[in-house]
Copies of this chain bind each other. A is one copy, B any other.
Amino acid sequence: MSEWCIGIDGGGTSCRAAVATSQGQIVGRGLSGAANILSDPPTARRHILAAAEAACREAGLDPAALSSMPALLGLAGANVGTVARDIAAALPFRESEIVSDGLIALEGALGPEDGTMAILGTGTVYLTRRAGAVRTLGGWGFQLGDQGSGARLGHALLQESLLAFDGMRPGSPLTAAVLCEFGDDPGAIVTFARAAQPADYGRFAPRIFAALEEGDAVAADLVAAAARQIDQALDAAAREGTAPICLLGGLSQAYQRHLAARHRLRLAPARADALSGAVSLCVAWQRGLADPAGS
């Protein structure tokens, strides 16, 4: 068993690494750029390596030591095709275990316990662990899924703004502000939508929650409908019971008080972040306690 191990949290915005002892005590951290293994594997590989080397240096270790360390990487897109296997083969670690970004977040949030994690951000996805078995629900993306996400909220707001323009549904100060922002030209909203990515819609989400606080009726309806969808997802993911529910993601705070009491009563703060989860999974894997990729 190696003296050190390394955990990696790689996503579309940045890549973080932590070198830890074989008992899981973190001794150095490193940060680099995006590690998007689906859209740009070579850059992802480079940034994974850069973060790992920086973590070594912070730990006072020669980056050459990486070749003797086991690494556990939680990467967005790890479940698609052979991408993860290809990346693993191109990394310099002693051995590389690649799991989804959701799994290391779950491990970080819950520790070794059963429970449910909901990521409420630009998209939405739910992971739940019961007697050690992990199940993923949702996460099908903006086009047909991600109900309750920031992207779907923003999309719904633009829809309501067009309906208000036509007098088909009641408008509000918020829909009036949106129309004004597009020069009171519904065609400009349609043009925006033609090129919009989920994150472009998602940028409207904080304004919807802000308008809700100011008593905006359309904002209240949109959030209530989205919260009902999240409640339904939690009913499926968390089922009945007392196991904790952790909310993560940029909208987790905003949604909290809008969820049903049966879920609110079970909410618990995350124990640790996804990077810590990667380190914990790496330690367990090395001890033969877990088969991360198999769970």
Residue ranges of A at the interface with B (Cβ–Cβ < 8 Å): 137-138, 140-141, 143-145, 147, 155, 158-159, 162-163, 166-169, 186, 189-190, 193-194, 229, 232-233, 235-236
Contacts and interface: CB of A to CB of B under 8 A. Distances in A.
A65 B155 CA distance: 52
Contact of A145 (B143, B145, B147, B159): B159
A138 to B, nearest CB: 6
The 7 A-B residue pairs with the shortest CB-CB distance, nearest first, are A167-B236, A137-B166, A168-B236, A143-B193, A144-B193, A168-B233, A168-B232
A235 B144 CA distance: 29
Given A140-B189, A147-B168, 8 more contacts: A137-B168, A138-B166, A140-B162, A144-B193, A145-B159, A145-B190, A147-B163, A168-B232
Judged by DSSP, the binding face of A is: helix
Contact of A162 (B144, B167, B193): B144
A186 B79 CA distance: 14
A159 B186 CA distance: 26
B155 A144 contact: yes
A144 B158 contact: yes
A159 B142 CA distance: 11
Contacts of A162: 140, 144-145
Contacts of A232: 163, 168-169
Contacts of A143: 190, 193-194
